[in-house]
């Protein structure tokens, strides 16, 4: 999971650098350099793609919850509404990956319950349990 966090961190860094650069609605040369520097970090993602995918394949629901909590704590942009939507979208993808991995071992009614719980209470950041 650490490789997945590292990959997401590089993507988040780029998003936050772009967000900061757009604060004054004008991107200057220095800001373009910062954006380019953050995108250069994506080379690590592409060169370690198989390891990242392996981390996704090994994710269970507990790891998914931990990762979602980390995403909410780590990702921060100026527009709180956009941030919330992005965090929820990432959360759905994380839970979907975890459920696909666990679907061979978990009864389908439990999986459906987890998904419906997430959709009915997305603000829970996947931490609330019944």
86-121 residue pLDDT tens: 888 888 888 888 777 766 554 444 444 444 455 555
Instruction: Summarize the confidence of residues 13-28 as an average pLDDT.
Output: 84
Largest CA distance in the chain: 55
pTM of this prediction exceeds 0.75: no
24-35 residue pLDDT tens: 888 888 888 888
CB 53 within 8 A of CB 109: no
What is the distance, to the nearest Å, from the Cα of residue 109 to the centroid of all Cα atoms in its chain? 26
What is the CA angle 47-53-59, rounded to 5?
A: 145
């Amino acid at each position: 999971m650490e490789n997945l966090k590292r990959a997401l961190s590089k993507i988040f860094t780029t998003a936050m650098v772009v967000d900061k650069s757009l604060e004054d609605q004008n991107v200057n040369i220095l800001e373009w350099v910062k954006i380019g520097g953050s995108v250069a970090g994506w080379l690590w993602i592409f060169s370690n793609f198989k390891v990242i995918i392996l981390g996704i394949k090994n994710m269970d629901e507990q790891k998914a919850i931990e990762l979602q909590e980390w995403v909410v704590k780590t990702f921060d942009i100026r527009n709180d509404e956009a941030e919330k939507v992005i965090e929820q979208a990432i959360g759905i993808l994380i839970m979907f990956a975890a459920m696909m991995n666990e679907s061979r071992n978990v009864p389908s009614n439990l999986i459906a319950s987890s998904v419906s719980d997430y959709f009915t209470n997305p603000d829970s950041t996947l931490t609330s349990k019944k």
